[in-house]
Structure 1
Amino acid sequence: MAVPLMVGIDGSESSLEAVDWAAHEAVRHEVPLRLVHAVIADREAPDMVAVASERARKSAPAVRLSSEVLHEDAVSALVGKGRNAFALVLGSRGLGDLAGLLLGSVSLAVAAHADCPVVVVRGGVEHRIGRFGIVVVGVEDGEGSGTAVQFAFREAHVRRCRLVAVHAWSVPVGTPGPPGLSGYAFQAMGRPPADVLADALRGPAERYPDVPVTSEVVEGPVRRALLEASSGADLLVVGARRRHGHVGLQLGLVNHAVLHHAPCPIAVVPQI
């Protein structure tokens, strides 16, 4: 049996937008879609599930659909389901979140603890329907983004679209260097930023030779580079490292920033 794509629902418009996105995603990847509603006690759960199910079938009539109601807190339920999920899809805001929040508390907590990729559906309708034909992935030095790059290539492959790989770097303030040496040249004395990007892309590019790739090496803050690149994208993909000795992921400042401000759906992919 195929591992299902899970989507959390709570009756909010944000969660229904996540259902729309997830229904199309499940059909693209040929996996079943499972609607999950977690609540301690809610008499309206059957109606909520029915509305979400109708929305999914309307968005993608071919989707293989199922649903379940779990009587526990939403974060624990969704993280638990994520142990056997293709991915978890969530809305950016829930019914219980305070006005003014950029990202719902449940979505942030699940993104920080799930074992599978978590997609938070953000942005306007043009970013959610695949209008731009671009997937953006952030690439960092080291192994933290390896699984994210593989995920991004697979997404670009099934969407038949372009992949834009972004590696941003900066020389730390106060770092001594030879007079007259540019920041890029100084950085290249260690490991050239272009090599970091090329090495990260080489293996997945061989696996998905049909995916057109654009590489961008950017001098400046990672957060700004990713937000600018994703302004014309259908999906932004970032990696997350495991925290040694602790449960969950190391989201870091950059991941927190893009989860709160990304103009399009964003996937947080745990390092394997």
Structure 2
Amino acid sequence: MLRPVLVGVDGSPESLAAAEWAAAEAALSGLPLRLVRAWEGVPYPSGSSADLAAGQNGAGRSLREAEERLTTRFPGTRPTGELVQGPPVPTLLEAAEEAETLVLGSRGLSGAAGYLAGSVASDVVAHAACPVVLVRPAPHPGTTADASPGATSPGRVVLGIDLAHACDEVIRFAFEAAHRRGTSLYVLHAYNLPLAYSIASAQIPLALDLLATEHGDDLAAVLRPWQEKYPEVPVTADAVMDPAADRLVKAASGAALLVLGRQERTSRLGARLGHVAHSVIAHAACPVAVVPHG
């Protein structure tokens, strides 16, 4: 059974943009499309049965509107929708266990109208078992630019990797995304100056050149088997001594998708995103995919 492209909707413009991106991605990948709308209801005794019914009806209406929008804008799309009573984070995380990819809006107002684009999205992307794609709405609603960016965009796919934690899951996701779109892949590895170099770096330019060559060679070695597996994907790769987040945001300008990894780890603080992922999600204009890996 094919695992679906899953999208969380809440009626906000952000979640509608995410739903359109998910519909285009499902069409590209030949996967089913599933919409989930979580609603928490009104806990007794603070609310009446009428309040509960009104909340359920409103949530169901936003789900139906999303389904109708997708079938109109993507002829042939047959999304399935599910209304689930429960908190959004555990609802989405449970649904994501059976999904190929989870898609959420990445911007929104605080409160119920835009909960998927705020703290909920942050919590979900930090804990989800599958890749999570965060999508912004188009900047000019009602114009010709009014289309969710990414899934069918001709822009390149950008992959940011840390060679200390390079992993097959993240690299595979990026290559497959570029392959499906028939576009190129740009790979960026940003590294910091080792502490041993920082004191006397001005006096040892040759050593810095050797360091750059070493990182470049390591990056090429990591990518080589994937380039052999996907020979039709043009690849450009850079290893740079620079802040990773800033370079990734610049590289992703006009991109179809930016792909990052999230290392799964257990700590007293629980699962969390690194500072690079946080910064990129906050500033990148294109959709951002966060791929969990061991």
Assess same fold via TM > 0.5.
Answer: yes
How many residue pairs end up in the alignment?
A: 268
Change (3 A) 1:184 1:263: farther
2:78 match: 64
Alpha-carbon distance in structure 2 between the residues aligned to 1:96 and 1:3: 31
Q: Deviations over 1:184-243 (max 9, x none)?
A: 32535xx81112321221222222111111112222100111001001211100001011
1:26 match: 26
1:148 match: 170
Map 1:170-181 to 2 at 5 A. Answer: 170-172=192-194, 175-177=198-200, 179-181=203-205
Alpha-carbon distance in structure 1 between the residues aligned to 2:228 and 2:248: 24
2:180 match: 158
1:205 match: 227
1:77 match: 91
Question: How far is 1:65 from its partner?
Answer: 1.3
2:262–2:292 CA contact under 8 A, matched in 1? yes
Partner AA of 2:250 in structure 1:
E
Question: How far is 1:98 from its partner?
Answer: 9.8
2:34–2:80 CA contact under 8 A, matched in 1? yes
- Unaligned stretches of 5+ in structure 1? none
2:209 match: 185
Change (3 A) 1:144 1:251: farther
Q: Percent identity?
A: 40
Alpha-carbon distance in structure 1 between the residues aligned to 2:221 and 2:164: 10
1:90 match: 104
SS at match of 2:126: helix
Change (3 A) 1:97 1:145: farther
- Unaligned stretches of 5+ in structure 2? 42-54, 139-144
1:123–1:264 CA contact under 8 A, matched in 2? no
Partner AA of 2:243 in structure 1:
P
Query: CA RMSD of the aligned region, Å?
Result: 2.5
Question: How far is 1:62 from its partner?
Answer: 2.4
Question: How far is 1:144 from its partner?
Answer: 4.2
1:8 match: 8
Q: Which residue of the other structure, out of 45, 55, 58, is the alignment partner of 2:59?
A: 45
Partner AA of 1:155 in structure 2:
A
2:169–2:291 CA contact under 8 A, matched in 1? yes
SS at match of 1:267: strand
Partner AA of 2:209 in structure 1:
A
2:154–2:181 CA contact under 8 A, matched in 1? no
